[in-house]
Amino acid sequence: YGGCYLLALPIRSLQYYFTSKLGILWRQWLTDKFIGSYMGNRAYYDVNPNEDNTEVDNPDQRIAEDTRNFTRESLRITVHAFYALLQFTLNVAVLWSINHLLTWSL
């Protein structure tokens, strides 16, 4: 049983590393895309935070925060869905190895 933990430890560490790396790359790409759209065609003049009647303050900071929240939550949901599917598959495999009839009682 301890061997399973020793095998799972580097796998979980790599999963955390690659998920974090993917999140950083995705967030960087998405932020660059949104900031590029904001800066392109001088759109920042249409949303001028210096005017008195505007409700928008620090649009570049809002873009960065929104992309961070979006990528973090999307990756979290995806990883949890994959983990649930993997756990279900492994439980079915364990039941199948114990007794074939127990598997179909799920």
How many whole angstroms separate alpha carbon 44 and alpha carbon 63? Answer: 13
* pLDDT at position 105: 64
Which region, left, alpha or beta, applies to residue 58 given φ > 0 means left and ψ of -120 to 50 means alpha?
left
CA distance between the termini of the chain = 25
pTM of full prediction above 0.75: no
* pLDDT at position 60: 76
Distances (CA, A) of 95 to 41, 81, 82, 100: 61, 21, 20, 7
Which tens digits make up the pLDDT trace of 53-69? 666 667 778 888 899 99
Spans of the chain below 50 pLDDT: none
Report the 10 Å Cβ neighbour count for 21: 10
* pLDDT at position 100: 72
Give the helix/strand (H/E) hosting 51. none
